[in-house]
Amino acid sequence: MHSGVVIRLDSASCIVRCDGLDLRCALPGKWRLTRRSQTRPIAVGDRVRLSLQPTGEGALEGIEPRRAGKLSRRAASERGLEQVVAANVDQLVAVAAAADPPLNRGLLERLLVSAEHGEMGAVVCLNKADLAQPGQLDGLLAVYRRLGYAALAASAVTGDGVDGLRGVLRDKTSVVAGPSGVGKSALLNAVQPGLALRVGDVSAATGKGRHTTSAVSLVPLDIGGYVVDTPGIREFALYDLERDELMHCFPEMRELFGQCRFADCSHTHEPDCAVIAAVGAGRIDPGRYESYCRIYESLPAADPAKAARR
Ligand SMILES: Nc1nc2c(ncn2[C@@H]2O[C@H](COP(=O)(O)OP(=O)(O)OP(=O)(O)O)[C@@H](O)[C@H]2O)c(=O)[nH]1
Ligand SMILES: [Mg+2]
Ligand SMILES: [Zn+2]
């Protein structure tokens, strides 16, 4: 019996890296029963046991339990099941571009919330710094650094910030996510020349990326660690997160837990709300608070059964 890590996944099979070899393995149909709440029984990053077939393929025998750290989203189709983008990861690198496409703050915040909810670290990487106005990125970087996130500006074109990104990725398993066309693959190619991940053209007509990366893939880094490149996302629906849990995914808000007048305060409009007071006093960034309110509106109300289990 051998063991390996899933580095790529398609509808009926996956590629497992095992003892330096990349083996194709069919997905056993009965595995569908093992994780019924998820769109797929395994994800990139999962550790699996397998045996070698005479055909040169692998046969999957079992899945190792996952450790903390997964990036999940709510699948748009398939009845809102959990779609695990990557499992067994240490940190999320949320990438946005200074321009082209324009910086999507809301998506960035949703990714950070999903990192908190998925129990992993988070890094903010603002790419295309070569296209930024002077000073444009400094305020935003400071916002995230104050919260304890690593935050860096980078440019895959000029190479600025790439050393910093390398330092952040070294010896960790990271999943890189963000909108299409922000330069996720280009940054990883800069981190490790020779990686040869496909990089696309941003369509001049719309300024929108064209989804150059089409599948999630995990690649080992020469500097140590692994990185998961993902296809660009337009929106990110949070999985299994309810309204009353949201403040705990905002580091600057969770420290105010229990300090509002009402125990069930939503922190969106109530009197004597510690969060609203902190926004007014300039201790919470208004953009972060606006994201909180938007995400709050998009989430389902608390499920009493789940609340009772907590
Ligand atoms: N000016 C500038 N262009 C960049 C930079 N990084 C990437 N690009 C360009 O942006 C376009 C998109 O880059 P990709 O790396 O394919 O973007 P991606 O985020 O991987 O996109 P998807 O795979 O579709 O999700 C390419 O034309 C790159 O050459 C940068 O730092 N500055
Ligand atoms: Mg890409
Ligand atoms: Zn409140």
Is 48 in contact with 3 (CB distance < 8 Å)?
Answer: yes
Q: Is 197 in the pocket of ligand 1 (CB under 6 A)?
A: no
Give the ligand with the smallest distance to the CA of 179: 1
**Contacts with 167 (C-beta within 8 Å, 6 or more apart), sequence order:** none
Q: Is the peptide bond before 251 cis (omega within 30 degrees of 0)?
A: no
pLDDT on residue 180: 95
pLDDT on residue 310: 59
206 pLDDT band (50/70/90 cuts)? very low
2-65 and 71-78+85-229 in the same fold: no
Q: Is 179 in the pocket of ligand 1 (CB under 6 A)?
A: no
For residue 114, the CA-to-ligand 3 centroid distance in Å is 21
Name the residue ranges covered by the structural domains of the chain: 2-65, 71-78+85-229, 243-309
Q: Tens digit of pLDDT for each residue in 84-98?
A: 999 999 999 999 999
Claim: this prediction has a pTM higher than 0.85: yes
Q: Is 211 in the pocket of ligand 1 (CB under 6 A)?
A: yes
Is 166 in contact with 179 (CB distance < 8 Å)?
Answer: no
297 pLDDT band (50/70/90 cuts)? very high
Q: What is the CATH number of domain 243-309?
A: 1.10.40.50
pLDDT on residue 205: 42
Place domain 2-65 in its CATH homologous superfamily.
Answer: Nucleic acid-binding proteins (2.40.50.140)
- Partnered with residue 13 across adjacent β-strands are 26
Compute the Cα dihedral for 39, 44, 49, 51 and give only its sign: positive
Q: Is 176 in the pocket of ligand 1 (CB under 6 A)?
A: no
> What is the distance between the alpha carbons of residues 92 and 95, in angstroms, rounded to a whole number?
9
Q: State how beta strands 47-52 and 225-229 pair.
A: unpaired
For residue 310, the CA-to-ligand 2 centroid distance in Å is 38
For residues 219 and 36, which has the higher predicted lDDT (pLDDT)? 219
Amino acid letter at 169?
L
For residue 8, the CA-to-ligand 1 centroid distance in Å is 22
For ligand 1, atom 9, the nearest C-alpha belongs to: 183
274: burial class by Cβ within 10 Å (0-12, 13-18, 19+)?
A: middle
Helix H, strand E, coil C: the string for 114-159 is HHHHCCCEEEEEEECHHHCCCCCCHHHHHHHHHCCCEEEECCCCCC
Instruction: Provide the mean pLDDT of the chain.
Output: 92
To the nearest whole percent, how much of the chain has pLDDT over 90? 80
Tokens of 64: 């190792």
Q: Is 120 in the pocket of ligand 1 (CB under 6 A)?
A: no
Is 213 in contact with 231 (CB distance < 8 Å)?
Answer: yes
- Rounded average pLDDT over 211-219: 87
Q: Is 161 in the pocket of ligand 1 (CB under 6 A)?
A: no
**Residue 162 is inside which H or E element, if any?**
helix 162-169
Cα 33 to chain centroid distance, Å, stands at 26
Domain spanning 71-78+85-229, CATH architecture: 3-Layer(aba) Sandwich (3.40)
Residue from 103, 111, 157 to probe ligand 1 pocket by mutation (most atoms less than 8 Å from CB): 157
pLDDT at residue 204 is higher than 50:
no
